[in-house]
Structure 1
């Protein structure tokens, strides 16, 4: 293992020689040293006083908790889970909502990929590319419109520098190896000044073999169901032991991956702002686990244990599917401050990209997905005004995107479509110190066109909050909001087999706007030396859009039809953390987080893939450059299931981490981590593949982080 660490360290050093390293500069404003401004919020309110729930995950926290994809890395945050379609393709789930209801952004604008169209499509952003990740939930996300009705995950990546490099040059390196999948990761970034210009270069690579698991890839319930179907269809009396031997065991087949990206950015940086451009190229080749296949050969060679070591991703004839992905992206960003007596700040982001991926069945191309598009956002904040005994501040802006999406081939279950969306928003806040008011409004227009049909939707979202500071270090907010979301191209026009989710999907071109009226209570306070943050929420949806099982079959797979129903979604999330005292020269801290969500249909039953009640308890100890952390994650049984959905069993995962600085005079850190120490079988109920693809088994990670 440590030989592989040496190898990864060499890879990072090679990247450094090529001028690819990561910046020591964190791109976030600080107040009083440790109060973080949430830049994703138009008003730039501090994380302690933002209305609604928010998490700011900094770079060090991302490195400490790195676990494959971006979504998997932030999934331990309260209220956040992941679709977990294997280690390559996962998307965030916030409060039980995913897909088009959660916007994943980079520097405030969309990724221009295909990740919202299917759970097997990877997100075109990696955790190690981020300087920080801001997660907005509930009313905090209203400025991003109906597609953020669940929340926003905004990756601040720093590819376009906002500030000059300290001492003219700075950089950062990360290299790691993992045991569960023979994985290697290397990432680096370097930033240097050239007169008034600042240049940023970076690169990343992540490779892995199919990962190990403690038992069968398929859950016991799923295996029994499969065997019962086989016996019923074939009237075969083969003994159970023979069937057990056929099921994949010890490894999730076809779960290998090979990701890499490189980018270059340049900014002009002045005293009052910056403007810059960046180019990024992303390439990936990864397997789609779960035994999916197309056509008549879907079940042939289902239990083949072979894999192609050259590609580090197994693929069998007519059985294993790989995705070969490529994206080219250009970005333009800028910000200007102190523009006069009325305008405090103006900032903008614009991105344009060309995305495509092919789904390979063996060496044959099954389906080609393409997405050409752009997205832009402009915000302006007015200066604070003294009014009625308080301070009045606000921001307004416009956001727009356009995309041309096409799927050509066997899995073209949705026709080529063009989507354009325009939105304007306004956020205002009046703060009289002991209490205050905040309101937000966003108006949108979405147009969707195919060769045979077109729809236009006009939506509005608004929120109103009242907040209080009854005592020092306490912030309470109550928010009422109304949100509207327009249907997507998949929900409207899908018509065909969707192999990723093993369903035949039927859209409904007559779907109407999805509406939600919600209430949320947010509280942040201190209990002695401990801090508490919690949110309780409820949302009543009128016309919630989802794909529901019809009971019919087409091409041998169940038919799911998109339709609308009224849904009530409610739950809570929270975090309690603080010091436990000192002993033996060590300072101890504790943390407890929890979350729960439920969503029931007025017609009866529950929404599919809802996360269960979960709790995480952790204890940390620090001393002279050494940091120890031990935590246990518990997830309850999830038996609030939709039709044709199996329940998920409870599990406990124990993780341990030791990070230390071996050379105090150098900015160097070593991370040694053990995940799932007890080698427990764990399945995420939010995953489409929970009964075929469990989480990884026991895993050891060794990582090296170097700043200069």
Structure 2
């Protein structure tokens, strides 16, 4: 199928005058002012309406230039403008999520989006207040972020839902009690998902998942001073349908505690001071056939001080941060119930290290894949915004100072590096586990300018420096869940990128069209690729026959465009009708012209919405085109059509606000594959599924 921008996107322009003349006796509701392109905020309920699953990636993948890298039903990592992992920062209550989703494609983001209040996407100068990622920042926000206590009184909600195909169920409840100065909020969410069937009726084994979260938030407010504290417990358990005969599973547990103090100063310059302290204890284990083969632990403490100020027509925010993390990893067949310290005999047993075949003479290791590692970082983020000339100028800066301290106490003796090569094996240098201190500086400038009464331009230029993660530097070992052997690279340099981002917004009384163009130039782009011999055959590790992936750096480029349009058709039968269209196109290449793997294929989606006093109905159609811009050894992925429907009825009875909803996904029962997924062949997307639910609020 020819990949071109659908002509339907231009339809409202051609029909604009017709709509105004033919519907001149009908009340037409104007579209709200265009939002700041740097900061997009979305209500959790609106995102859930379009989600075909329960992961963060599922919630966001229908947004412009956003996709989800699925790994079964338990994992959906957000991909923004073709970038994911360490290039997308995910914040939970304004602290970076301390999960290990960046380490592996099979690791879930430790966030239950159902428990969120809203989710924001930040790019350009606005994102540099919180971090420096070329893909941008995702803020997952719940009531802990609110700057005010809940309304006095008692409020609450209960909800439940069920689905066909994967037999999914969702249950949850929340309650809030507050007066003028004290509040307490409690909520809990639980979801269970069974194995699903694809579009051809095949059951995908080990694709089930289960998760639950409970959270409590307490608040106290006195005049201009607010203090809040929260405690949260999250657990996820999910299968990885990677084609193995043995069930590969991951069980994730995360406990979080936090307190914040906010003081509204109402001063001449300084408006507000906020202090945040958060502690996170993260642990997940990986089993294969019930054998405890892997264990990952990450303990984190973070402290932030945020200052908000103003001067004349300028607003400024500063965020001073400190974070300390301790990472531990175990890989030992059936022996990873806890973390261990390796024995030391004092003998030089390095001769027992096996080389990887294919003539590469690289040392192969079957023990713990990386040392225990402690990371300390100091950060300063800032964001300025104000009127300048006839437009709006925004500036952002982010500075990071990081100290990395590897501790090889858990590394087996036969892997400790000798001072000289042995048997022609190219060992790393003797101080492979050395400590190191690095710094990074990122800058961004943005400009919003009205060109005409209806046309607005917003652009930004961002220079981002990213320090290599400890996993990219130090990992060397098997990853059973992904059936790969990953080799990090100790001498990686920091990754640099320069992004030019341009949004053009056109708005009339009943249409709003937004065009986004971007290009990101990378210097020393960090990526992984299979190690191959001179004939192009993948090199396998000597014990598991898993593909060996090496970590490399090279210059690269990402570029693309997104086009979105909302057209309020008019009012008919006491309901407002809206047509929404969207098209995305992204490319990613190394500077030598080689395509990067797993780049999202072009897509187009259109939805028709009807909204009245009690009803909201939506019919959506998405065309994902064939993925044929491929890396040299990558296989193409066929395109597919995804038809979905959603209907909601809201009413009030017996003192309760009631909401009943129905949703249908993949109505055409297409055999659909996610090109971004490592499991696109073993775990196609879900077949036809019907869901229904109810929510009661008081």
TM-score (norm 1): 0.81
Is the CA contact (8 Å cut-off) linking 2:144 and 2:228 kept in structure 1? no
- Equivalent residue of 2:59, what SS? helix
Aligned-partner Cα distance in 2 for 1:349–1:79:
32
Is the CA contact (8 Å cut-off) linking 2:248 and 2:481 kept in structure 1? no
Distance 1:420 1:537, change over 3 A: same
Aligned-partner Cα distance in 1 for 2:130–2:613:
43
Whether 2:67 is the aligned partner of 1:111: answer: no
Aligned-partner Cα distance in 2 for 1:491–1:657:
42
Match of 1:288 in 2: 240
- Equivalent residue of 2:159, what SS? strand
Is the CA contact (8 Å cut-off) linking 2:89 and 2:131 kept in structure 1? no
Q: 2:79 aligns with which of 90, 93, 112?
A: 93
Whether 2:674 is the aligned partner of 1:689: answer: no
Q: CA deviation at 1:486?
A: 0.4
Aligned-partner Cα distance in 2 for 1:570–1:160:
34
Q: CA deviation at 1:263?
A: 1.3
The Cα offsets for residues 382-428 of structure 1, whole Å up to 9 and x where unpaired, read as 1231xxxxx22222221232211111124843332122222112222
Aligned-partner Cα distance in 1 for 2:314–2:516:
26
Match of 1:628 in 2: 617
Aligned-partner Cα distance in 2 for 1:428–1:163:
24
Aligned-partner Cα distance in 2 for 1:328–1:559:
34
Is the CA contact (8 Å cut-off) linking 1:161 and 1:200 kept in structure 2? no
Match of 2:390 in 1: 434
Match of 1:406 in 2: 328
Q: 1:642 aligns with which of 622, 631, 644?
A: 631
Q: 1:701 aligns with which of 666, 691, 694?
A: 691
Distance 1:348 1:475, change over 3 A: farther
Match of 2:446 in 1: 465
CA RMSD, Structure 1 to Structure 2 (Å): 2.1
Whether 2:481 is the aligned partner of 1:554: answer: no
Match of 1:422 in 2: 378
Q: How does 1:158-173 map to 2 (within 5 A)?
A: 158-159=143-144, 162-173=147-158
The Cα offsets for residues 540-597 of structure 1, whole Å up to 9 and x where unpaired, read as 1000000122212213122211111000111112321021123344321110112221
Q: CA deviation at 1:474?
A: 4.3
- Equivalent residue of 1:654, what SS? strand
Match of 1:510 in 2: 491
Is the CA contact (8 Å cut-off) linking 1:161 and 1:267 kept in structure 2? no
Match of 1:363 in 2: 290
Distance 1:633 1:133, change over 3 A: same
Match of 1:345 in 2: 272
Q: 1:321 aligns with which of 244, 248, 273?
A: 248
Q: How does 1:583-602 map to 2 (within 5 A)?
A: 583-602=572-591
Distance 1:285 1:89, change over 3 A: same
Is the CA contact (8 Å cut-off) linking 1:106 and 1:155 kept in structure 2? yes
Aligned-partner Cα distance in 2 for 1:512–1:126:
34
Aligned-partner Cα distance in 2 for 1:649–1:326:
37
Match of 2:203 in 1: 251
Is the CA contact (8 Å cut-off) linking 2:448 and 2:456 kept in structure 1? yes
Match of 2:659 in 1: 669
Is the CA contact (8 Å cut-off) linking 2:161 and 2:170 kept in structure 1? yes
Is the CA contact (8 Å cut-off) linking 1:159 and 1:200 kept in structure 2? no
Q: CA deviation at 1:262?
A: 0.9
Unpaired runs of at least 5, structure 1? 1-32, 36-46, 216-248, 293-301, 303-318, 386-390
- Equivalent residue of 2:46, what SS? helix
Q: CA deviation at 1:161?
A: 5.6
Match of 2:68 in 1: 82
Is the CA contact (8 Å cut-off) linking 2:93 and 2:145 kept in structure 1? no
Q: CA deviation at 1:213?
A: 1.0
Is the CA contact (8 Å cut-off) linking 2:199 and 2:671 kept in structure 1? yes
Whether 2:301 is the aligned partner of 1:374: answer: yes
Is the CA contact (8 Å cut-off) linking 2:129 and 2:318 kept in structure 1? no
The Cα offsets for residues 223-253 of structure 1, whole Å up to 9 and x where unpaired, read as xxxxxxxxxxxxxxxxxxxxxxxxxx61111
Aligned-partner Cα distance in 1 for 2:620–2:378:
44
Match of 2:402 in 1: 446
Distance 1:653 1:175, change over 3 A: same
The Cα offsets for residues 163-213 of structure 1, whole Å up to 9 and x where unpaired, read as 333341112222111112111111222111156111111101010111111
Unpaired runs of at least 5, structure 2? 1-29, 333-366, 408-432, 533-538
Q: 1:70 aligns with which of 56, 69, 80?
A: 56
Match of 1:135 in 2: 121
Query: Is the deviation greater in 410-419 or in 279-288?
Result: 410-419
Distance 1:523 1:643, change over 3 A: same
- Equivalent residue of 1:534, what SS? strand
Whether 2:499 is the aligned partner of 1:572: answer: no
Aligned-partner Cα distance in 2 for 1:178–1:92:
24
Bigger radius of gyration, 1 or 2?
2
The Cα offsets for residues 462-485 of structure 1, whole Å up to 9 and x where unpaired, read as 012222123345431222221100
Aligned-partner Cα distance in 2 for 1:427–1:623:
40
Aligned-partner Cα distance in 1 for 2:671–2:225:
51
Distance 1:180 1:400, change over 3 A: farther
The Cα offsets for residues 20-57 of structure 1, whole Å up to 9 and x where unpaired, read as xxxxxxxxxxxxx997xxxxxxxxxxx9453x444311
Match of 1:307 in 2: none
Structure 1 stretches of 4+ moved >4 Å? 662-665
Aligned-partner Cα distance in 2 for 1:535–1:349:
35
Whether 2:47 is the aligned partner of 1:125: answer: no
The Cα offsets for residues 503-535 of structure 1, whole Å up to 9 and x where unpaired, read as 211111000010011211122331331112232
Aligned-partner Cα distance in 2 for 1:159–1:465:
30
- Equivalent residue of 1:142, what SS? helix
Match of 1:12 in 2: none
Is the CA contact (8 Å cut-off) linking 1:161 and 1:199 kept in structure 2? no
